[in-house]
Amino acid sequence: MNERDSKYAVWLVLWVTWNVFVICFYLEAGDLSKETDLILTFNISMHRSWWMENGPGCTVTSVTPAPDWAPEDHRYITVSGCFLEYQYIEVAHSSLQIFLA
């Protein structure tokens, strides 16, 4: 195995490990909870899945005025009408990444 192959092997292991973690995170395996910001953002910012607002059939409605406790740099919204909940799309996406790896 040459150096390029060994670097790819290391990257592949890291990529598969990350995607397994994402699957466990969104399925809330063990003590993981998708409601905590600490795990994916190290509590630096608020985490929100892109699929939460942009999933198939989702309708996003801004809530105005935003509550006093809402961070200024984030929108305060409600999401409804999604055909599939965002966490299942995240799991499917990570599963596809593992399959392709």
Query: Pick the residue with more confidence: 21 or 69?
Result: 21
The pLDDT tens digits for 14-33 are 999 999 988 888 888 877 76
CA distance 93 to 28: 16
Q: Give 63's contacts (C-beta < 8 A, 6+ positions apart).
A: 76, 77, 78
| H helix and E strand count, the chain | 4, 2
pLDDT of res. 44: 52
Query: Pseudo-torsion of CA 79, 80, 81, 83, nearest 10°?
Result: 50
Task: Give the model's pLDDT for residue 37.
Answer: 54
Do 63 and 77 contact (CB within 8 A), yes or no? yes
pLDDT, position 30: 76
The predicted structure's pLDDT at residue 50? 83
Asked if the model's pLDDT at residue 90 lies above 80, the reply is yes
Q: Using CA atoms, how far apart are residues 93 and 96, in angstroms rounded to an integer?
A: 5
pLDDT at 19: 93
Cα separation, 101 vs 97, in Å, equals 6
* Entry pTM: 0.72
Return d(Cα 3, Cα 59) in angstroms, integer.
49
pLDDT tier for residue 66 given thresholds of 50, 70 and 90: low
Q: Which two tokens stand for residue 49?
A: 């899945």
